[in-house]
């Protein structure tokens, strides 16, 4: 479908790619990974036709359509959410206008034998065929389905774009691309600003997407669940494997270790051979033998070790000072902005040593609650800090708060105190700032570099309570893993807001879900939380299922009167036929639901003893579990629709 050949991109003396090439098939699911600054977004822009390559070519099969979601985008601020989303169907709108014009012209035509009449009929047929290919029916339903999947409510459809944050605007743009249904989807960090529930919806949508997908993401679980192929950009080269990210990394590391062993053995052979050459080359009777060895070495193909970039950030938080048993207590907390109320009556207690994930849908007030804890936001109720609590805070926009006119070194040196000042350069080196990098102005750093520098500041003094709002934003996969490991070793208390399930899994032992009327506590980590949320949905279905017969069994037949004509015999037969069909569907669905529920219960037992250290096996088991639950939801919806239709006919 798309062929990339000998592609090179240069920016001055810097080379991002050099003679790279690969092929994108019609149903490929490719994860594009690499360190920050490796060139992932540039490659995506090049595939989208926005960035021109320095050398090489990109060839698309005829008729191939491409949809591209950048990290930053422009929107029509005065348009409503629905109006902005409907621009995805500009071609459909244009074709509908063309069809109306042709239909009117044909209706006004009186000479049915003329060439003009025949031509207009042909044009009308072409327009109709194109509309059919684009799936122009039920556009309103399609738009609402996608927007609601991305977290929008019915009442949001008529709100203007300017009323929403950047994250919600990005969702509209993502929705537009999904509605266009292009042959190739290019997605640059599509999970940015999405809450966990929306990420799960997007995963399911992309898993069933009929076209090819190339995506950039720093969310390991999202990559593993969506992609089946990984292309890593590292030091101007690409490494292409037919695996999802986690399996790819294992295979890649194994291959590097094998190459290193072979290179080491070869080097020993070369050194031993060179000793023989040095020993015999000066002897007349052995000179010919020495020359043979020399020629042998010259012809030998050297084993090369791939330039695999395994550099990682090394983070270690200082030991936490002693604090009281209660770190923080909130009583009857509430927050409103004018008429918009986020939450009220929220109570919370954070105990020493707890590691808590704060989750909830976007806009519910997670970051607001964090700012309330940090005394940066006025609020209702009382926030009582514990004894000897020293808070370290990483805000969602922490990297943007850095002084752009300072150098990297000055940013840390100006705040370092005591013995830390003696090791500022070593500390920066641990965060991959070395050599001339430390003299760079902060304003020229990439988003990932700024994030690392902001995290570095947290290590300048010991804290016993870390409050972190989206700390993984802009961090690459390797850096996120190291941050997670450092937080796991941290012996203080942690409250973290994140939508990254892989980052939260195994890090926190308690989940706080913030809702408009309370803060709900879930023991366990984020996977336990998501599992319980799904169980609640199933329980709700069971309740509806139990109540449905009572509503449907006793139903009075409508009385015939002068204004309601009796049904004909054929109409009655058709109704009875439909009722039998629906009854069969209902019975079949109920049996399938029982089977799926039984399988899910069996899987619950398996998940309870699942060994998460075996990442590949764990991912396969979890994928199977999610597939069963997804199937259950589909059958439940089918049962509900059939039951409602049967009720209407009864």
Q: Nearest Cα to 293, choosing from 268, 270, 266? A: 270
Output the DSSP codes for 222-276.
HHHHH-SEEEEEETBEEEEESS-HHHHHHHHHHHHHHHHHHHHHHHHHHHHHHHH
Largest CA distance in the chain: 126
pLDDT of residue 94: 81
The answer to whether the CB of 167 falls within 8 A of the CB of 362 is yes
pLDDT of residue 74: 74
Give the H or E element holding residue 102: helix 90-108
* pLDDT, greater one: 54 or 562: 54
Q: Annotate 142-195 with three-state secondary structure.
A: HHHHHHHHCCCCHHHHHCEHHHCCHHHHHHHHHHHHHHHCCCEEEEECCCCCCC
Instruction: Give the SS3 label for residue 11.
Output: strand
Reported confidence tier of residue 437, pLDDT bands at 50, 70, 90: confident
pLDDT of residue 570: 62
Q: Where are the beta strands (DSSP E) in 61-170?
A: 66-69
Instruction: Give the SS3 label for residue 18.
Output: strand
Average pLDDT, the chain: 82
**Residues in Cβ contact with 250 at an 8 Å cutoff, skipping those fewer than 6 apart:** 615, 616
Cα of 314 vs its chain's centroid, Å:
25
Task: Please state the domain extents for the chain.
Answer: 66-244, 247-299, 326-524, 528-557+565-649
pLDDT of residue 492: 93
pLDDT at 619 over 70: no
> Identical fold at 66-244 and 326-524?
yes
pLDDT at 51 over 70: yes
Cα separations in angstroms, 286 against 271, 274, 280, 294, 321: 19, 14, 5, 13, 73
pLDDT at 389 over 80: yes
Return d(Cα 585, Cα 635) in angstroms, integer: 10
Alpha-helix residue ranges (DSSP H) falling in 325-468: 366-373, 408-413, 424-430, 447-457
Q: Where are the beta strands (DSSP E) in 417-566?
A: 465-469, 493-497, 510-515, 518-523
- The values of phi and psi at residue 32, to 5°, are -100, 115
Tokens of 50: 């926005």
Domain at 326-524, CATH homologous superfamily: P-loop containing nucleotide triphosphate hydrolases (3.40.50.300)
Reported confidence tier of residue 327, pLDDT bands at 50, 70, 90: very high
Query: Is the pTM higher than 0.85?
Result: no
Mean pLDDT over 32-59 rounds to 87
In the chain, the percentage of residues whose pLDDT exceeds 90 is 17
pLDDT digits (tens, 9 = 90+) for 76-114: 888 898 888 888 877 777 877 888 887 887 777 766 677
pLDDT digits (tens, 9 = 90+) for 130-174: 777 666 667 788 888 888 888 888 888 888 888 876 668 878 888
Which range among 211-220, 365-374, 531-540 shows the weakest confidence by mean pLDDT?
531-540
Cα of 4 vs its chain's centroid, Å:
25
pLDDT of residue 544: 60
pLDDT of residue 503: 92
Mean pLDDT over 604-629 rounds to 68
Reported confidence tier of residue 558, pLDDT bands at 50, 70, 90: very low
Return d(Cα 313, Cα 486) in angstroms, integer: 10
User: Residue 425: how many CB atoms within 10 A of its CB?
Assistant: 14
DSSP annotation of 472 = T
Q: What is the CATH number of domain 66-244?
A: 3.40.50.300
């Amino acid at each position: 479908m798309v062929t990339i050949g000998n592609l090179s991109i240069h920016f001055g003396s810097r080379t991002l790619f050099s003679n790279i090439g690969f092929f994108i098939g019609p149903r490929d699911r490719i994860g594009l990974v690499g360190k920050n600054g490796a060139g992932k977004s540039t490659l995506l822009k090049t595939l989208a036709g926005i960035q021109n390559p320095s050398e090489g070519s990109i060839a698309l099969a005829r008729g191939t359509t491409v949809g591209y979601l950048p990290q930053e985008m422009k929107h029509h601020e005065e348009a409503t959410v629905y109006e902005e989303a409907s621009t995805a169907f500009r071609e459909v709108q244009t074709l509908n206008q063309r069809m109306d014009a042709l239909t009117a012209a044909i209706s006004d035509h009186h000479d049915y034998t003329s060439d003009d009449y025949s031509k207009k009929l042909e044009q009308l047929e072409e327009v109709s065929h194109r509309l059919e290919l684009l799936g122009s029916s039920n556009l309103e339903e399609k738009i609402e389905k996608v927007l609601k999947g991305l977290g929008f409510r019915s009442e949001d459809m008529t709100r203007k774009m300017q009323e929403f944050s950047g994250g919600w605007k990005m969702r509209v743009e993502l929705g537009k691309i999904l509605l266009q249904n292009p042959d190739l989807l290019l997605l640059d960090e599509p999970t940015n600003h999405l809450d966990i529930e929306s990420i799960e919806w997007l995963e399911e949508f992309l898993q069933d997407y009929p076209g090819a997908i190339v995506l950039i993401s720093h969310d390991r679980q999202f990559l593993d669940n969506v992609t089946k192929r990984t292309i890593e950009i590292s030091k101007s080269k690409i490494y292409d494997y037919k695996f999802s990210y986690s399996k790819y990394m294992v295979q890649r590391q194994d291959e590097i270790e094998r190459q290193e062993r072979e290179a080491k053995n070869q080097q020993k052979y070369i050194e031993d051979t060179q000793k023989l050459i040095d020993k015999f080359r000066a002897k007349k009777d052995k000179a010919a033998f020495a020359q043979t060895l020399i020629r042998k070495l010259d012809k030998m193909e050297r084993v090369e070790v791939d330039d695999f970039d395994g550099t990682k950030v090394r983070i270690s938080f200082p030991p936490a000072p002693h604090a009281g048993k209660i770190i923080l207590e909130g009583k009857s907390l509430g927050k409103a902005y004018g008429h918009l109320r986020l939450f009220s009556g929220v109570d919370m207690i954070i105990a020493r040593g707890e590691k808590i994930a704060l989750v909830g849908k976007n806009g519910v007030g997670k970051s607001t609650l964090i700012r309330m804890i940090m005394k940066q936001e006025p609020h209702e109720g009382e926030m009582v800090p514990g004894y000897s609590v020293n808070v370290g805070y990483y805000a969602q926009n922490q990297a943007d708060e850095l002084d752009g006119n300072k150098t990297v070194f000055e940013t840390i040196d100006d705040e370092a105190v005591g013995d830390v000042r003696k090791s500022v350069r070593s500390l920066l080196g641990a965060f991959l700032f070395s050599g001339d990098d430390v003299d760079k102005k902060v304003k020229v750093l990439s988003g990932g570099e700024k994030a690392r520098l902001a995290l570095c500041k947290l290590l300048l003094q010991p804290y016993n309570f870390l409050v972190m709002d989206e700390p993984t934003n802009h961090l690459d996969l390797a850096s996120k893993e190291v941050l997670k490991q450092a937080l796991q070793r941290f012996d203080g208390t942690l409250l973290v807001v994140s939508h990254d399930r892989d980052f939260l899994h195994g890090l926190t032992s308690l989940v706080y879900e913030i809702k408009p009327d309370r803060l709900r506590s879930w023991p366990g980590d984020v996977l336990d939380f998501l599992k319980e949320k799904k169980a609640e949905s199933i329980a709700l279905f069971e309740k509806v299922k139990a109540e449905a017969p009572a509503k449907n069994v006793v139903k009075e037949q409508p009385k015939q009167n002068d204004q309601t004509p009796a049904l004909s015999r054929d109409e009655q037969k058709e109704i009875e036929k439909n009722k039998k069909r629906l009854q069969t569907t209902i019975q079949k669905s109920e049996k399938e639901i029982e089977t799926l529920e039984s399988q899910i219960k069996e899987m619950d037992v398996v998940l309870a003893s699942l060994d998460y250290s075996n990442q590949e096996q764990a991912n396969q088991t979890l994928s199977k579990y999610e597939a069963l639950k997804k199937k259950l939801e589909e059958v439940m919806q089918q049962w509900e629709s059939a039951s409602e239709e049967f009720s209407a006919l009864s």
